[in-house]
Amino acid sequence: MSVNVINPPGSGDGGGGGTGTVSARVWDGDSYEEDTDLTLFVGAADPTAAPGGRDQDGDVWVNPAGVVPGQVIGAVYYDPEVEAGVGTTTTAWTDVDATNLIVTFTAPASGAVVVELEAWVNAGASTLMGWGIREGTTLINACNAQYAGAATGPRARVSLPVTGLTPGNAYTYKWAHNRGVGTGTCITRMGGRGAAGANVANDHPGPAVMRVVAL
């Protein structure tokens, strides 16, 4: 059996790898025998939806770019040389950094993801700080990142689930923060690694990290 490869990996279909024709035989219970030719479609595009769509017996569709639960499908790591600390003193949700802390991803078949946010935080005494994700100016999800009985600065991480997405559609989320209660300033801190990536020993908050994980 010869296998004809249509849109092979690496031909611009979102896959990766080589090209060529694969020779194969089919097990018939006693031995591997020649069988009817199969046409192999490799890539994310459904062959029936392509121009002149295919739905013939013997067609095989393989999607090497298929997303599985737990797979990271979008990520941002922002670690500027000079530390950036962005503060807020309002209950309104505002972007931390709409230029650098923004991630775009394609929704998986499940229509569900979890967005993870991780960075160093400082909340003033008796102050509650929140982290969230926004699409444009719409808050998608949020939760508490830190409550400080006294001014402190640990590294924090939150996980924000999102469901009801349209599979295959692209979404863009921005990191947001607010001050829930209290009178202190809530600061999301990142960077400070120093020149040429050399860590600053006495004060290096580290990168701000956004991850989108398929569910």
- Domain boundary assignment for the chain: 2-62, 72-214
Mark residue 20 as left, alpha or beta (left: phi above 0; alpha: psi -120 to 50; beta: remaining): left
Q: Tell me the per-residue pLDDT of 105-128, one tens digit each, with 9 for 90 and over.
A: 999 889 999 999 999 988 877 889
CA distance 155 to 16: 37
The third-level CATH classification (topology) of the domain covering 72-214 is: Jelly Rolls (2.60.120)
* Banded pLDDT at 206 (limits 50, 70, 90): confident
Residues 6+ apart with CB under 8 A from 53: 47
Q: Which of 23-27, 42-46, 66-70 has the highest mean pLDDT?
A: 66-70
* Banded pLDDT at 179 (limits 50, 70, 90): very high
* Banded pLDDT at 180 (limits 50, 70, 90): very high
Are 81 and 193 in contact by the 8 Å Cβ rule? The answer is: yes
- Structural Rg of the chain based on CA atoms: 24
User: What mean pLDDT is predicted for residues 148-170?
Assistant: 85
pTM score of the predicted model: 0.69
CA distance 87 to 127: 13
For residue 15, pLDDT beyond 60? no
Query: What was the pLDDT predicted at 68?
Result: 80
* Banded pLDDT at 194 (limits 50, 70, 90): low
